[in-house]
A and B are shown apart, each in its own frame.
Chain A
Amino acid sequence: MQASRLPAYVDILVIPLLNLLTALFVAGIIIAIIGENPFTALSIMLKGAFIYKGGLGYTLFYTTNFIFTGLAVAVAFHAMLFNIGGEGQAAMGGLGIGLVALGLGGILPVPIVILLAIIGSAIFGAIWGVIPGYLQAKRGSHIVITTIMFNFIASSIMIWLLAGLLMAPNQMSPETVSFADGVMLFKIHQILNSMGFSVARSPLNLSFVLALLCCFAVWVLIWRTRFGYRIRATGFSTKASAYGGYRPEWIIILVMAISGGLAGMMAVNEILGVQHRVILNFTSGYGFTGIAVALMGRNHPVGIIFASLLFGALYQGGAELDFEFQTITRDMVIMIQGLIILFSGALAYMFNPFLERIFLANKGQKEPENG
């Protein structure tokens, strides 16, 4: 990453928007090439995401997933660690919820089981993040490769358990039995309807509130605590931070624990919020989307909320495309996601020379007037 000489608002607003527009422009060209109208597709997506009945609820439901996985990637990014293991960490988080809910459900009171299940998801996710963190810090293995491998290992473990030890008896699909009655999070539409508002059904549940609380917690952690300062110092320069008396190894390990824990909590939304049992592949790529979210959101919780909303809308709107078009499916959203990662991640600074010419040229003319 290179330092930018551009004014802050250009860096925070103009560049991400420009990158997003470029990605959408390329996606539009591809839609046109396969013979559909990109503007019709866009309007159907927007209607599906925000206007149709229940659309907004679904959008916010997906948003919740992306906030968790986006925060996970962002926290690690602050220490210059690239955690691509969100997928595996979230899967393990689901396992944590399942073990708590199936083991203690019916024994302990429901609210305590729910609380322990949420903690379980964070702990299992954290364990799946902390091992690659430890291996990076103490044994020098590259975190990118280790987290990729851990995604596959997690997937194998889940298949092994869900098609074996934990598989519900008398049925064919690899999933556990349903959790005990009441071991689930309230749906937002239930709460609002009971308060007298009329809201359409959607899977949106209290995890959304949990996700927003996590955003606040991450903001406090990174920008308002001494530990957060150390994280950023380690990210800036491992050597400098070691010189400053910190132990970068421990910071790497702890950051990966937090990152993994956040990714693991994505399972709260899917498993405790909707499925009420552990199923295979419930992570469906949301861990990878977290990378796009963190890149777009510039690793800041506020940015991540907006970027998650964008991806939530893309996912929900993308589902609508399935109904409306014969040739466009949800895979379009995956492609758009790839383009966004390309333009706002790998090619993030493509427009910098161009923008520097525009903004710095203006500044150059103004300076004599001020001085």
Chain B
Amino acid sequence: MADFWFQFLLALDSSIRVATPLILGAMAGIFSERSGIIDISLEGKMLMAAFVAAAVAYGTGSPWLGAIAAIIVSIIASLIHGFACIIHRGNQVISGLAINILASGLTVIIGIALFRQGGQTPTLPKSARFNSIELPFAQYFADNIPILGVVYKELISGHNILVWLALASVGITYYILFKTTFGLRLRAVGEKPEALDSAGISVSKMRFQAIIIAGILCGLAGVYLSTATGAGFVKEMTAGKGYIALAAMIFGKWRPVPALFACLMFGFLEAVAARVQGAEFPIIGEISSDLLLALPYVLTVVLLAGFIGGVSPPRAIGQPYIKER
């Protein structure tokens, strides 16, 4: 039993690690989509950022410079999306898809041109990465305080700074969206842009601000993948995480706190999937980890179909705003 609890604790711990890029991606999605811009390019932005973070961290030896460069590139990708969808009123899904495909190709091409390692970056030394931060007294508490001490050591201590940033981003997103004028306007621009326009606020400017914030958050998610959990960039390293973040955002009904729980749940599913591979269970028998990994997608489809409560996306989502003259 004790062993089970310890395993469970480790599964929770790895859920948080898996969920971190999902949380950052989901918050990015919330900013963008709440302003009325569909963002399926979370995946591509994360991928570009992951590459740039690793490349710059390798070149300069500083993970911080890598992170800054990654965020800048991710913002540029957001601006391309904005240029197409806000300025030229292009189809937002097509634009997002273009960025994703572009990211798949570009990261590998530039990777080969710079490092000649088949699209990977060289392995980063420890000094060029964001390493885990052991909280004070972790070992002491684990040895001396029953249960809580172990929880403190295994679950709370030992995460890198980006995990904390991701968790903080949920609170910040909530605060900005629901407690500030900017947030009110941002939500309004995704529901009824003409109302904002008649109040003399620029719809385009609001939407650009929203997608720039989304760019920053996706940038951080990419940084996490290649310079915190990973030690370098690998071809297609996001592997659909941007899409799972999108699913989590929908699952959380475009709200930061429920989206956080969706991310943690999806992260937990993945952590469990890694552990049950090949294991036999009473009654149900062997659980396929492949099918378990598909569960986030299935759940999102079921939710969207309205079988578990209703979902209503921002009303003006996907529609380019045409200013009346």
Contacts and interface: CB of A to CB of B under 8 A. Distances in A.
B306 interface: yes
B168 interface: no
Main secondary structure of the interface of A (DSSP, over half): helix
B104 A334 contact: yes
A303 interface: no
B304 A148 contact: no
Nearest to A295: B94
Given A150-B301, A345-B91, A346-B90, A329 B112 contact: yes
A345 B94 contact: yes
Contact of A337 (B40, B105, B306): B105
B306 A153 contact: no
A291 B94 contact: yes
B290 A82 contact: no
A84 B32 CA distance: 21
Interface in B104-149: 104-106, 108-110, 112-113, 116, 119
B300 A145 contact: yes
B246 interface: yes
A150 B288 CA distance: 18
Contacts of A142: 304, 313
Given A35-B113, A156-B290, A157-B294, A345 B90 contact: yes
A82 to B, nearest CB: 6
Contact of B247 (A149, A337, A348): A149
B97 A153 contact: no
B286 to A, nearest CB: 10
Contact of B301 (A84, A144, A149, A342): A149
B94 A141 contact: no
Interface in B33-80: 38, 40, 80
Contact of A146 (B40, B84, B88, B301): B301
A288 interface: yes
B196 interface: no
A1 B301 contact: no
Interface residues of A, number: 50
Contacts of B108: 329, 331, 334
Contacts of B102: 335, 338-339, 342
A366 interface: no
Interface string A342-354: 1001111110000
Nearest to B244: A152
B176 interface: no
Contacts of B247: 145, 149
Contacts of A160: 288, 290-291
Interface in A158-214: 159-160, 163-164
Interface in A298-343: 326-329, 331-339, 341-342
A150 B101 CA distance: 18
Interface string A81-114: 0101000000000000000000000000000000
A332 B105 contact: yes
A328 B109 contact: yes
A140 interface: yes
A145 B243 CA distance: 9
Contacts of A339: 98, 102
With a 10 A CB-CB cut-off, give which of A140, A163, A331 has the most chain B CB atoms: A331
Interface string B229-241: 0000000000010
Contacts of B112: 327-329, 331
B52 to A, nearest CB: 15
A141 B307 CA distance: 11
Nearest to A343: B98
Contact of A342 (B92, B98, B110, B294): B98
B105 A346 contact: no
Nearest to B38: A144
Contacts of B38: 144
A30 B301 CA distance: 39
B290 A346 contact: no
A145 B304 contact: yes
B323 interface: no
B97 A288 contact: yes
Contacts of A35: 113
Given A288-B97, A291-B94, A332-B109, A148 B40 contact: yes
B270 to A, nearest CB: 12
Nearest to B320: A2
Interface of A: 1-2, 30, 34-35, 82, 84, 135, 139-142, 144-146, 148-150, 152-153, 156-157, 159-160, 163-164, 288, 291, 295, 326-329, 331-339, 341-342, 345-350
13 contacts: A84-B97, A149-B298, A149-B301, A152-B297, A153-B294, A156-B293, A160-B288, A160-B290, A164-B288, A291-B97, A338-B106, A339-B102, A345-B91
Interface of B: 38, 40, 80, 83-85, 88-95, 97-106, 108-110, 112-113, 116, 119, 240, 243, 246-247, 250, 288, 290-291, 293-294, 297-298, 300-301, 304-307, 311, 313
Given A135-B301, A146-B304, A345-B98, 4 more contacts: A2-B89, A139-B304, A139-B305, A327-B113
